Structures are given as structure tokens and as C-alpha cells.
Chains A and B, each alone.
Chain A
């Protein structure tokens, strides 16, 4: 699990961002314990996320990472990059393939567009992915928009 936090110190500015910039990658290795706590705090009682026997019955190798946990990993990628002065304005996420505990999930992103909104802020558009490191399977893809001060 990634525990880095640059959020307190980074002060990213719109003017210092350009199309093609890459976000620092983040790695997450979900565990059964993490999935249990995520199901608990979201009051999600679906067995597919905590009962390995049920998951096997459905044909899966282990319990499945919740779709919103995939989303949360991508949120963190964006907010860590945006830093304290930035704000995540939008995230459109689509989960494509399942992931299970022990998978190394690599979150990566790239700036695809920049757009000045007004005299004080700009929007940066990002393309982000969450990929399983072992076989390069893309588990989730998203587009995001981050508001940054000029």
C-alpha cells in the first residue's frame, strides 16, 4: 500500500504543467484485510469482496477489489500530484478487469490538455490507468480534471 504524502508540501501551478507531462506512478497492493475494511466502512455486504469460497463459486481466483476502491486509488494518484493548492474537479472511471489481493496495481497518468478557466485558475485534463504489473492487464481507466491556481 502506498503511504507517500506529498500533498502537504507540493504547490503545483497551472503554468508549470504541460501536455505530455507524466504523473509520478503510485503502486497499491490490496490485501484481504484492506478489502474487508473497505467493505465495512462502505457497508457493502457483497460476498464477492470478503468470502473466498463464494468468489471461487463465481469462478474467481480470490475475493475481488471493489470497483470504488479502484476509483479511490485513481483519486489518490490525482490528488497527490495536484498537491495542496490543487483540487480534483472530475473523475470519469471505468473498471475493465477484476483485481484480487496480492496484485500489484500501478496507477499512472498523463496530462492530455490544459485550459485556462479564468484569471486565477486553470483546468488540467488527465488520462489515467490502473494496470496489474504482473501481466500488464489494464484493470481501470479514467479521465480526470484537476483545477490548479495560475
Chain B
């Protein structure tokens, strides 16, 4: 699929549309395992009493946990994965599912409020804009998404703006 104005126009029809999905509860076990996996020893991530003494309801998630999780459900069956192990059904709204190479291009995260264990999190995803760039190795399209992570009451927790590159 050529990366050109036609593809850009088709992607741009998705700008502004918002998709909301519930990620479920961020459990204490997920927080502790994530903290372990990144090599953290901060008691804020492991010790409920320590966290309560610091004014939190329970242990809190390391700041970039919610943006790092690839899938919040069981994911597809093995037969529905590509050769590289990723799901055949691309989760990125409004992008072609084949014929282009999709790469991550950086992330800007704002941490509004700590996420304590037991918080039910909702993610709102919006395509913000898309542009065609003439690079040295040929054209590519940059698509920007905003991911707003909020709690059940709509309190903002983390906002992440991600760039996705299509070649």
C-alpha cells in the first residue's frame, strides 16, 4: 500500500472520533509484578502500610504502568497472532491492518494523579492528527493519538500522547 495523500486522507477521516474501553481494576498483584519486572524496590509499590502513611489508599502503580500494557484482556488465540507474535487484528483505530509498516515514534505522558491498587481504569483514545512527511528514506505518515486514562468518576490519572509512524 503506497504511503501517500490517498492513504493520509483515509486515515484523517478518523481524526476526532473517540473510543472508550474499560481496562478493569488495576490490582495490587499487577502493580507489584510490574514493579518487580522493572527492577524497582520503592516500598510505595509493594507495601500498603508505607503507602497509607504517605496518604495513599493503598500501594500505587509505577507511573508508566498503564501506558505499557499491550493488552488488558486475554488477547487472541495463538492462531490469530502474526508470525511476529502480535495480534492479527491491529488495535489502532483507523489504520490499515496490512501493507504498511507501523512503528512507535515516542510518547508524552502526563501523570495527573497516582493510580492506587483497586482503581477501575477507563481508557479514552482519540486520533488527534495525521500528517505526511517526506523523509530521507521516503515518505511516511505520522499519526498522533491521545490516550486518557481516568477512573470511574472521570478523574484524570494519566494522559499519554503517542506518535505512530507508517512507512
Contact = CB atoms under 8 A, between A and B. Distances in A.
A135 interface: no
Nearest to A144: B109
Interface in B54-77: 54, 62-64, 67-72, 75
Q: How large is the interface on B (under 10, 10 to 19, 20 to 34, 35 or more residues)?
A: 35 or more
Lowest 6 A-B CB distances belong to which pairs?
A68-B68, A94-B106, A47-B85, A44-B70, A92-B108, A72-B38
Contacts of B118: none
B35 to A, nearest CB: 9
Nearest to A44: B70
Contacts of B38: 38, 69, 72-73, 76
A75 interface: yes
Nearest to B36: A37
Interface stretch (B41-49, B123-131, B132-140, B145-153): B41-49
Instruction: Name the prevailing secondary structure of the A interface residues.
Output: mixed
A66 B85 CA distance: 14
Contacts, number: 111
Contact of B44 (A4, A7, A72, A89): A7
Interface residues of A, number: 43
Interface of B: 30, 33-34, 36-44, 50, 54, 62-64, 67-72, 75, 81, 83-87, 104-111
Contacts of A5: 41-43
Contact of B33 (A34, A41, A68, A75): A41
B85 A79 contact: no
A4 B67 CA distance: 24
